[in-house]
Amino acid sequence: MPADSPSTAETFINPSVQSFVDVRIIVVLDAMLGFDVEAEYHAVAMDHIRIADLVVINKTDLVTPQQLSDLKQKVESIAGLSRIWETSFGEVPLGLIFDDLPNHAMAGVQSAHAGEHEHQHHDNEFTTWTYCSEARWSFSALQRAVEALPRDIYRAKGIVRLDLETGDYGILQVTGKRAWLKLSEPESPETVPVSTELVLIGKPGTNTNKSIGMVFEQALEDARSQGSEGYVVKDLRAFNVVFA
């Protein structure tokens, strides 16, 4: 990876170009390289981690559990809200990167109204949860919810019912710490979404539909009661509204 990759990536994640490109930044970190501060490219690797949505720590079989724990803490201190996936031999579930799994799960939610079910996938490597609500969402409330998602949630996708006079609804995509909300105009009044339906992908055993629902409901309540007062945006590029 070129030494100037972080600056190049930051160009593509700038909000002004989000309507033209859909960029997800995944950084693969060699566990030995990350742990060895004297390694030649250690500083470069840490610089790349800073902008990652998802950090894949590879070759975890070559370090001790304590070394891996220390490395994860270091990555978390550098990468902020980025998600971490631990693996060996470069094995990463494709559903964690590409849209096939969330698309399939989303179709299940919409067709079967399966909002109360949790599903495990790929030999229990990760689980999908769903969140459904008839509430109307402001941009502020939705950003609060996305920023408050547990770090064990790697991806999310779905339709959001928005609090807009135009009647537009949103198509939400979340990868790691970064979210995109694309505004879409209904084809007719009859096709306006009457509920928010989201699918979330994460580490098994870490969340439930109820716990995720509490995150979203708390964000709604905070936005209604506090407005923008006292609310500090953690990352201006972490939540982008794209006007189609």
What CA–CA distance (Å, rounded) separates 201 from 225? 29
In this prediction the pTM is 0.75
Structure token digits, residue 140:
């502020």
**Cα gap 194→183, rounded to integer Å:** 15
Q: Which domains does the chain have, with CATH numbers?
A: 5-86 (no CATH), 94-243 (3.30.1220.10)
Phi-psi category of residue 72: left, alpha or beta, with phi > 0 → left and psi -120 to 50 → alpha = alpha
List per-residue pLDDT tens for the chain, 244 residues long: 444 556 566 655 555 555 555 667 889 999 999 888 888 888 888 888 888 888 999 999 999 999 999 999 999 898 877 889 899 998 888 777 776 544 544 455 444 444 455 666 545 678 889 999 999 999 989 999 998 999 899 999 999 999 988 888 999 989 887 888 888 888 877 777 889 999 999 988 899 999 999 999 999 999 988 876 655 555 555 677 766 5
pLDDT at 112: 43
Q: What is the pLDDT of residue 10?
A: 60
What is the structure's pLDDT at 96? 74
Q: pLDDT value at position 105?
A: 44
Gap between the Cα atoms of 70 and 34, Å rounded: 10
Return the SS3 of 16. helix
**What DSSP designation does 28 have?**
E
DSSP-derived 3-state class of residue 159: strand
